[in-house]
Amino acid sequence: MTVLDLSLAVCEYDRCKAVLDGRARVDGCNIYPTAIEPEEAFHRAFKYQEFDVTELSMSSFTMLTSRGDSPYVGIPAFVSRLFRHSGIYIRTDRGIDDPSKLKGMVIGLPEYQITATVWIRGILEDEYGVDVRSVKWKQGGLEDAGRTERSNLDLPADIDLTPIPSDRTLSDMLASGEIDALISARAPSCFLKGAPNVGRMFPDYRAAEQDYFRNTGIFPIMHIIGVRRSIYEKHPWVAVNLYKAFLESKKLAMYELSQIGHLFVSLPWSVMERDQTVALMGEDFWSYGAYENKKVLETFLRYHHEQGLSKRLVGMEELFAPSTLELTKI
């Protein structure tokens, strides 16, 4: 079998470190890793296809898959997952005492198509009845003026999305009251600096997210791993070998989280935190695998379609190399 030289770009998450440092080997491959922030990986992968194997935005990847022109094939290693109730910031002087009150409001977002905002809009609609078409969406940079959508969007006419002025930021506009709310993966500086009349929709977002999980069983998926399509088509065995390496890397990270004799994480009660998470979410709380995450994936794909980002409803199996959907059991 030919040994492949593969470049890899992924953030240095605990669950990926063993792939990056070689403890979790990819059989048949020499890996040349780059530990990189996700946004940079997405830009370099989608615009320039620089990497053979890379972390991918779930939303951008779904959009390209729906169009039939994705340069990458997915592997169901969900290296980034996050609950997103923490990412809704509001003007506290607008009477928004319940998420349902966001109907008809002016809400800012860094980009309409990024995965975090897809999840937040979907949760607001499913759980609180806030139809995506009932909101005036304002797109722009959170802290840096002039940010635009990085993907070409072709949204339905009844979705009201317009850019903010090119010399303004969303954080400034929330602080000044020019927008009623803001959804963002990152906290705006006006909130961090304690600007008056700016707060979180869910001040106790941990409790809200735990309730959400109890009610839905959903732990949102943000990013997946993709392998260059041309490599996969020539060497189809590479998909499962990569997947097994990422599974092994996660296994090593979870072992380290559970060790109380000596702490791998610089938090005094990290093991208790892990145990409390297991009590709520189960032993394999950070699960990989398409069928193991069928409800999560199908919910996201429905949101993506309902919000106008994919013209058709993408099927879960379309995202992944078929051989990774079900590993052989012994």
**Could you list the mean pLDDT of each consecutive 10-residue stretch along the chain, which spans 330 residues?**
92 98 98 97 95 98 96 98 98 97 98 98 98 98 95 94 97 98 97 98 98 98 98 97 98 96 94 97 98 97 98 97 80
Q: Is 107 left (phi over 0), alpha (psi -120 to 50) or beta?
A: beta
What 3-state class would DSSP assign to 169?
coil
DSSP string, 229-246: HHHHHH-TTHHHHHHHHH
pLDDT of residue 330: 43
Give the CA dihedral 94, 95, 97, 100, nearest 10 degrees.
-80
Contact 96, 201 (CB under 8 A): yes
CA 59, CA 222: separation in Å to the nearest integer?
8
- Strand-strand pairing, 72-81 and 181-183: unpaired
pLDDT of residue 151: 87
The boundaries of every CATH 3.40.190.10 domain in the chain are 4-82+220-324, 85-216
Phi, psi at 189, each rounded to 5°: -65, -30
DSSP string, 137-166: EEE--SSSTT---SS-----TTSEEEEPPT
In this prediction the pTM is 0.96
H/E stretch holding 118 reads: helix 115-128
**Single-letter amino acid, residue 206:** R
- What's the CATH superfamily of 85-216? Periplasmic binding protein-like II (3.40.190.10)
pLDDT of residue 327: 81
CA 115, CA 42: separation in Å to the nearest integer?
12
Q: Closest by alpha carbon to 36, among 7, 9, 16? A: 9
DSSP string, 5-38: EEEEEE---TTTHHHHHTSS--TTEEEEEEE--H
pLDDT of residue 198: 98
Q: Closest by alpha carbon to 110, among 120, 98, 102, 96? A: 120
- What's the CATH superfamily of 4-82+220-324? Periplasmic binding protein-like II (3.40.190.10)
Name 228's bridge partners.
72
pLDDT of residue 328: 59
Q: Closest by alpha carbon to 183, among 260, 98, 123, 273? A: 123
In the numeric block, which tokens belong to residue 78? 């969900």
* Residues sharing a CB contact under 8 Å with residue 143, sequence separation 6 or more, in sequence order: 169, 171, 188, 189
Residue 164 has, within 13 A of its CA and on its CB side, a CA count of: 29
